[in-house]
Amino acid sequence: MSATTFGHKGMEAVQNRDFAGAIPLLDKALESSSSPAWLLARAQAHQQLKNYDAALDDAALVYHVAAERGSGNSRKQMIEAQYRRSVLYFKLGRYADADCCARWAMLLAEGRPAREDDGVEKNVDENGNYTVTYEAAVADKKGQPGQDNKATWIAGIAGGSEGGSAGTPKTGFENDWKRAYTWRSQVLGAMEKLPNDHAGRKVSVKKIPDRPQKKAEKKTEQKPEPEVELADDAMDVDKTEPAGPAPGSVPDEKLKLRVDFYQSNNNVTVSLFVKDANKDELDVKFSDNYIQISPLPRAAAPYVKPGDRKATSTIILGGRIDPSKSRYSVTSRKIELVLQKVTPGVKWGSWGREEIGPASEELTTSAGPGSTTASANQPESASRASVSSPPAAQPPTTATTSAAPAYPTSSRSGPKNWDKLGEAEAEDDVDKQDVNYFFKQLYKGATPEQQRAMMKSFIESNGTALSTDWNDVKDRKVETVPPEGVEAKKWE
């Protein structure tokens, strides 16, 4: 039988509560593929047979494999792994550890970063006892997903009453959040009955579990196997989807960032959409034909560490820039590069392309003399409004000049470019450094659909966001996104 057949039979055995019969079948299936769904099923079987250590190993492996694959189902599987760990620690009488894992499952369900240092395991007193109480856990609903209606949102930004909350937008994991929230009441209720010196009150768990070495990971050549996701009650099997990349490796294409750009006569502004980049640690090296940036957090591979090849991106530019006059800024959602063109007025065909890893020797030797300014350009103030537009296609990276049409004329002096003439007359009366001038030019050159998107996004966001993508904003209200360090408040 193939691994797929073994996997399906093992899943069916778990459904039918034949846990002893399911384990050998899933063992055979996992020799060929570390499918998170098969691992979760085997963890459940081990749990029912009271093989708690084996079940914990499987849950830990699920967490790592799901994070590395970075597929659309990864977060769901990571939430399931944390919830499974919580149940297992509860079975072992480690109630403080069980509550930490349940809380981490809730945070993942809220859409919080997987690598976030949330300090859940640090809620201990001087004796090392876990201090979170049943009452505090029941009252804490501030991050519940799907609770961002207009009334609560206004109350939240206006500084509502204590205990009030705006919640978070829908994440698709609302049921997972509620399950973990409900489970915590049982965990903390049991912990309250323990003596103060009981080992079950101590925290010894880590958010990211140590990765166990399993036979399922030893094969390097693996064919993708179908995955079957466990149902919300963590007992039944109900969904099937194809497996992601081979465990332990995330392809470069999945690591690449979403990029957007726009340009004026003098500058090219490139937005790299990356969440939670550390502004203090970020190292941006400008050269005349490329930019190297590190360390970068990766959504598809949450555990990339600074210094790893995958923590670095090299932006190979679509034209030449002046490194000494280029700069960057960092917010919680993106890194923005403002690049000074070497030749003003030359239109770039594209912003360029991204390569994972440091700049190659061939690229560095092709850079102009004295072009690299490693870490010399400090981040500019990040107080500008967020500007977004549809991701640009990437044609061949050659700079092209834009020529305005010349209209027929009977003038002895030859044809006139009336567009250029009008621009010259208008620009004589404005300060080109004025931000209003920039937005006027952007609006003037946009299509009617882009102009409609700009008006809607600017008005609804109270001037904090500007989008040219009508498909993105037409069916939603554009939220106010205040600059870093600024708090949005309702006008009284």
Model confidence over 344-364: pLDDT tens digits? Answer: 988 898 899 999 988 887 777
Q: Is the pLDDT of residue 48 over 90?
A: yes
Find the CATH number of the domain harbouring 93.
1.25.40
Q: Residue 47 to residues 41, 84, 297, 411, 412: CA-CA distances in angstroms?
A: 10, 9, 34, 90, 92
Phi, psi of 4 (to 5 degrees): -60, -40
Q: Is residue 100 part of a domain?
A: yes
Quick one: 82 and 116 in the same domain? Answer: yes
pLDDT at 55: 93
Q: How far apart are CA 315 and CA 328, in angstroms?
A: 13
Quick one: 360 and 462 in the same domain? Answer: no
Q: Is residue 268 part of a domain?
A: yes
Digit-coded pLDDT (tens) for 170-180: 888 889 999 99
Digit-coded pLDDT (tens) for 267-280: 999 999 988 888 88
Query: 346, 375, 402 — which closes off a domain?
Result: 402
Supply the mean pLDDT for the chain: 77
Quick one: 98 and 194 in the same domain? Answer: yes
Three-state DSSP class for 333? coil
* DSSP code at position 126: T
Quick one: 486 and 440 in the same domain? Answer: yes
Q: How far apart are CA 104 and CA 372, in angstroms?
A: 42
Higher pLDDT, 409 or 192: 192
pLDDT at 484: 67
Domain that holds residue 366: 252-402
Quick one: 228 and 340 in the same domain? Answer: no
In DSSP notation, 356-403 reads ESSPPHHHHHHSPTT--EETTSPPPP--SPEEE-PPPP---S-EEE--
Q: How far apart are CA 105 and CA 465, in angstroms?
A: 32
Contact 15, 237 (CB under 8 A): yes
Quick one: 271 and 342 in the same domain? Answer: yes
For the chain, report the end-to-end CA distance as a whole number of angstroms.
Answer: 70
Quick one: 87 and 167 in the same domain? Answer: yes
Contact 247, 25 (CB under 8 A): no
Q: Residue 403 to residues 165, 343, 346, 397, 419: CA-CA distances in angstroms?
A: 55, 15, 10, 19, 11
Q: Is the pLDDT of residue 33 over 60?
A: yes
Q: Which of 80-94, 105-119, 442-456 has the highest mean pLDDT?
A: 80-94
pLDDT at 338: 94
Contact 24, 65 (CB under 8 A): no
Q: Which of 75-84, 292-301, 390-399 has the highest mean pLDDT?
A: 75-84
Percent of the chain with pLDDT over 90: 33
Query: 352, 375, 402 — which closes off a domain?
Result: 402
pLDDT at 85: 95
Q: How far apart are CA 298 and CA 295, in angstroms?
A: 10
Q: Is the pLDDT of residue 99 over 90?
A: yes
* DSSP code at position 212: P
Quick one: 358 and 467 in the same domain? Answer: no
Tell if the pTM clears 0.85, that is, is over it: no
pLDDT tier, 228 (very low <50, low <70, confident <90, very high otherwise): very low
Q: Is residue 374 part of a domain?
A: yes
pLDDT at 163: 43
The region of weakest confidence among 166-170, 189-193, 197-201, 203-207 is 166-170
Q: Is residue 489 part of a domain?
A: yes
Q: How far apart are CA 388 and CA 346, in angstroms?
A: 23
Q: Is the pLDDT of residue 88 over 90?
A: yes
Quick one: 119 and 201 in the same domain? Answer: yes
Q: How far apart are CA 134 and CA 185, in angstroms?
A: 6
pLDDT at 459: 86
pLDDT at 423: 46
CA dihedral of residues 159, 165, 171, 176 (deg, nearest 10): 160
Sign of the torsion formed by the C-alpha atoms of 276, 35, 8 and 232:
negative
Contact 307, 295 (CB under 8 A): yes
Q: Would you state the structure tokens that stand for residue 176, as one six-digit string?
A: 């997972």
Contact 474, 488 (CB under 8 A): no
Going by C-alpha positions, the residue among 68, 77, 76, 69 that lies closest to residue 43 is 77
pLDDT at 427: 47
pLDDT at 463: 79
Strand partners, 388: 467
Q: Is the pLDDT of residue 388 over 50?
A: no
Q: How far apart are CA 287 and CA 220, in angstroms?
A: 38
pLDDT tier, 129 (very low <50, low <70, confident <90, very high otherwise): very high
pLDDT at 368: 59
Find the CATH number of the domain harbouring 292.
2.60.40.790
Q: Is residue 95 part of a domain?
A: yes
Q: Is residue 453 part of a domain?
A: yes
Quick one: 94 and 216 in the same domain? Answer: yes
Region 452-479: what's the mean pLDDT? 84
pLDDT at 435: 57
Q: How far apart are CA 387 and CA 299, in angstroms?
A: 21
The region of weakest confidence among 173-177, 272-276, 387-391, 455-459 is 387-391
Going by C-alpha positions, the residue among 131, 137, 138, 134 that lies closest to residue 201 is 131
Query: 189, 210, 242 — which closes off a domain?
Result: 242
Q: Is residue 247 part of a domain?
A: no
Quick one: 394 and 466 in the same domain? Answer: no
Region 4-10: what's the mean pLDDT? 88
pLDDT at 375: 46
Q: Is residue 221 part of a domain?
A: yes
pLDDT at 424: 47
Digit-coded pLDDT (tens) for 59-70: 999 999 888 887
Q: Containing H/E element for 334? A: strand 334-340
Total domains in the chain come to: 3
Quick one: 275 and 303 in the same domain? Answer: yes
